[in-house]
Amino acid sequence: MALVQLRPSTSTIPLAEPFGIARGSRTEQSVVRVEVEAEGVVGRGEAAPVYYRGETTESALAFLELVQPPSDPFGLEAALPRDGDAAGRSALDAALHDWVGRRLGIPVWRLLGLSRQA
């Protein structure tokens, strides 16, 4: 297996329409993004921190910068830390699944045994 690289970042994306609840509304969402690269294949994942869990894009980014790149992206369970920032773990999980799907040439929904309509 070639060297695995993790590239975490953050960004703010506009929402398709305003999201509103009793406390207010917003028109954009900050997310943490991760790219996993190995064997010339790049998998991408992203997740939004959950504020009421105390998560921020900064906490997710800090978590991801401490994560050791997996030695084998196919070993999804072994590659994911058990504890830490949930948004960071979610983004990494999505990136690893995306990498495996791209490496095998199949979409993630099929990799997970789902129908396209799910």
**Residue 83: which residues within 8 A CB-CB, separation 6 or more?**
none
Q: State the chain's mean pLDDT as an integer.
A: 91
pLDDT at 103: 96
Residue range 49-70, pLDDT digits in tens = 988 889 999 999 999 999 888 8
pLDDT at 1: 59
